[in-house]
Amino acid sequence: MIRLSININKIATLRNARGGNLPDVVQVAKDIEKYGADGITVHPRPDQRHIRYSDILELSKTITTEFNIEGNPSIKFMDLVLGVRPTQVTLVPDGDDVITSNAGWDTKTNLSFLKNIISKLKHAGIRSSIFVEPIPEIIHFASLTGTDRIELYTQKYASEYLNNRSNAILPYIQAAEHAARLGLEINAGHDLNSSNLNYFAKKIPKLKEVSIGHALISESLYLGFENVIGVYKECLNI
Write the pLDDT tens digit of every residue in 74-104. Answer: 999 999 999 999 999 999 997 655 545 567 9
Catalytic residue among 133, 190, 209, 219: 190
Catalytic residue among 43, 66, 133, 178: 43
The pLDDT score that the predictor gives to residue 24 is 98
Does residue 43 have an active-site annotation? yes
The pLDDT score that the predictor gives to residue 98 is 52
Give the confidence band of 193 by pLDDT, cuts at 50, 70, 90.
very high
CA 214 to CA 5: how far, in whole Å? Answer: 12
The pLDDT score that the predictor gives to residue 238 is 78
Using CA atoms, how far residue 136 sits from 55, 133, 211, in Å, is 36, 9, 22
Q: Which CATH architecture has domain 3-235?
A: Alpha-Beta Barrel (3.20)
Q: Kindly state the percentage of the chain with pLDDT values over 90.
A: 92
The pLDDT score that the predictor gives to residue 103 is 78
Give the number of C-alpha atoms closer than 13 A to the C-alpha of residue 152, restricted to the C-beta side: 34
Average pLDDT of span 129-140: 97
Q: What is the pLDDT of residues 143-191, one digit of tens each?
A: 999 999 999 999 999 999 999 999 999 999 999 999 999 999 999 999 9
Average pLDDT of span 48-54: 93
pLDDT at 118 over 60: yes
The pLDDT score that the predictor gives to residue 97 is 59
Catalytic residue among 66, 70, 133, 209: 70
Q: Kindly state the percentage of the chain with pLDDT values over 70.
A: 97
Strands 185-189 and 207-212: parallel
| Peptide bond connecting 23 to the previous residue in cis, omega within 30 degrees of 0 | yes
Average pLDDT of span 189-197: 97
Give the confidence band of 49 by pLDDT, cuts at 50, 70, 90.
confident
Does residue 33 have an active-site annotation? no
pLDDT at 210 over 60: yes
Does residue 137 have an active-site annotation? no
Residue ranges covered by each domain of the chain: 3-235
Using CA atoms, how far residue 97 sits from 110, 130, 193, 195, 211, in Å, is 20, 20, 25, 30, 22
CA 182 to CA 61: how far, in whole Å? Answer: 35
The pLDDT score that the predictor gives to residue 46 is 85
Average pLDDT of span 58-71: 97
The pLDDT score that the predictor gives to residue 88 is 98
Mean pLDDT of the chain: 95
CA 12 to CA 3: how far, in whole Å? Answer: 23
